[in-house]
Amino acid sequence: MSRQQIFTGEEYSRRLREVKHRMAAAGLDLVVCQDPANMNWLTGYDGWSFYVPQCVLVHLDEDLPIWFGRAQDRKSALMTTGLPEANVVAFSEHLVQNPDGHPYDELADLIRSRGWAGARIGVEMDAHYYTARCHAHLVAGLPDAAFSNNRDLVNWARLVKSEPELTLMRQAGRICTHAMSRAVERMRPGVPQNAVIAELYHAQIMGVDGMGGDYAAICPLMPVGEGTATPHLTWNDDPLPDSGLAILEIAGVRSRYHVALTRTVHFGKPLQRYQDIARVIVDAVDAGLEKARSGNVAEEVEAAWQAELRRNGLKKESRVGYPIGLAYPPDWGERTASLRPGDRTELEPGMCFHMMAGVWLEDFGLAISESFVVTDTGGEKLCAAPRQLIVVD
């Protein structure tokens, strides 16, 4: 078995069959997958090479995908995918950051050489690394092809996790629980923020019970004080305050599978208002988890959460959750279903979501989230961290 392969050949075959089924339904002959998570999910490919153009090709008539990437990374593909050498194709090194030529010129050559010049090709218009220049060169190189947005076809195929994937998700949840505990233990007045993050990174990577951790697709987020009124601030080297709020959003990661978690800490005795809002958030998550059962639809989870907030005079305008799983920077979300009004995606056992349960007001915010897997009886929590406003005296 290759160095980092963690799934069986049958698992990859199942995934490929599912993608081809979706391709046929969408009227596509070929999909070009540049999302590194989709590349990994289809082939096992794992390397920090997504900063240059690369992709995996899936054709309806081919038994195996084709990896296409930088010549320098060809060995990585052979080591991590198990694909035969004929299905690992490298582009010329001189095309890296070339002002005139582009790697997708050679991708177009490859597609023509396979007899697919007139194919119906689906590309990932919303993939973070599928640039406008990638698309322009591919279209120019294949004037007879019919291009369309494949509407995250592979992402949708990833939505329901297999049992081997759920094993990794539960392991990631244990790592996340451990890392959150270690970070909170370090969060004391006067401790520099970066010292907390250093402790957190150590816990994330060392893992728990012999299960090592992986790097996260999003760095730790830690707004402090008034910064808690907005969710996506990171840290600096300022000391933590003697009084006030801090929010920590992290993920545990096992073999690229992510489980996210957010907790709020208060230094000193919290205002009653903070305690009340935290209680509402906790109760609202419970209501959402109860609705996160197979047969319900995504918006029902959000509606249960929102009803509890509104009953207490609060509201959250943004979606309350999104699917999680296999991920690479810059995001651990899967960009498919959302827990929000109007999303009628039917929930199935094995779908995994981060219920980003937070309330952000004008001058402060609180967030106490949960990641869960959909089951027949409701959302199964993937972490075991206490769900409450954490008070540090």
The CATH number of residue 312's host domain is 3.90.230.10
**Which region, left, alpha or beta, applies to residue 309 given φ > 0 means left and ψ of -120 to 50 means alpha?**
alpha
Q: Do 78 and 116 belong together in one domain?
A: yes
Q: Do 74 and 98 belong together in one domain?
A: yes
Which stretches of the chain score pLDDT less than 70? 1-4
Q: CATH number of the domain at 37, please.
A: 3.40.350.10
State whether the Cα torsion 79-85-88-90 is positive or negative: positive
The closest of 118, 119, 103, 114 to 34, measured between CA atoms, is 103
Q: Do 129 and 219 belong together in one domain?
A: no
CA distances from 120 to 114, 291, 301 (A): 14, 40, 37
CA distances from 97 to 100, 102, 216 (A): 9, 8, 26
Domain range for 104? 9-157
Please tell me whether residue 81 adopts helix, strand or coil conformation. helix
182 assigned to some structural domain: yes
Q: Of 128, 157, 186, which one is at a domain's C-terminal end?
A: 157
Rounded Cα distance between 393 and 390, Å, is: 10
227 assigned to some structural domain: yes
State whether the Cα torsion 126-322-80-219 is positive or negative: positive
When divided into structural domains, the chain yields a total of 2
Please tell me whether residue 278 adopts helix, strand or coil conformation. helix
pLDDT of residue 5: 77
Rounded to 5°, the CA angle 290-370-19 comes to 85
1 assigned to some structural domain: no
Q: Do 40 and 68 belong together in one domain?
A: yes
pLDDT of residue 2: 47
* 161-214 pLDDT tens trace: 999 999 999 999 999 999 999 999 999 999 999 999 999 999 999 999 999 999
State whether the Cα torsion 225-231-233-237 is positive or negative: positive
Q: Do 196 and 100 belong together in one domain?
A: no
Rounded Cα distance between 370 and 199, Å, is: 22
DSSP code of residue 233: -
* 327-336 pLDDT tens trace: 999 999 999 9
208 assigned to some structural domain: yes
189 assigned to some structural domain: yes
pLDDT of residue 1: 39
pLDDT of residue 4: 58
4 assigned to some structural domain: no
Q: Of 135, 157, 179, which one is at a domain's C-terminal end?
A: 157
CA distances from 211 to 93, 215, 260, 331 (A): 37, 13, 17, 23
Q: Do 270 and 139 belong together in one domain?
A: no
Looking up tokens 């999303």 gives 343
Rounded Cα distance between 203 and 220, Å, is: 12
Residue 243 tokens, joined? 């009084």
pLDDT of residue 3: 54
Q: Do 168 and 149 belong together in one domain?
A: no
Exposure string (b/e) for 116-142, b if CB count within 10 Å is 16 or more? beebbbbbbeebbbbeeebbebbeebb
Please tell me whether residue 312 adopts helix, strand or coil conformation. coil
The closest of 184, 174, 260, 185 to 209, measured between CA atoms, is 174
- Residue 282 sits at φ, ψ, to 5 deg, of -60, -45
53 assigned to some structural domain: yes
Q: Of 98, 131, 157, which one is at a domain's C-terminal end?
A: 157
CA distances from 364 to 6, 17, 218, 271, 331 (A): 43, 48, 22, 12, 25
Q: Do 322 and 200 belong together in one domain?
A: yes
Q: Do 133 and 183 belong together in one domain?
A: no
Q: Do 269 and 192 belong together in one domain?
A: yes
CA distances from 218 to 175, 184, 213 (A): 16, 19, 14
Q: Do 177 and 108 belong together in one domain?
A: no
Q: Do 246 and 382 belong together in one domain?
A: yes
3 assigned to some structural domain: no
The closest of 321, 322, 370, 372 to 349, measured between CA atoms, is 372
Predicted TM-score of the model (pTM): 0.97
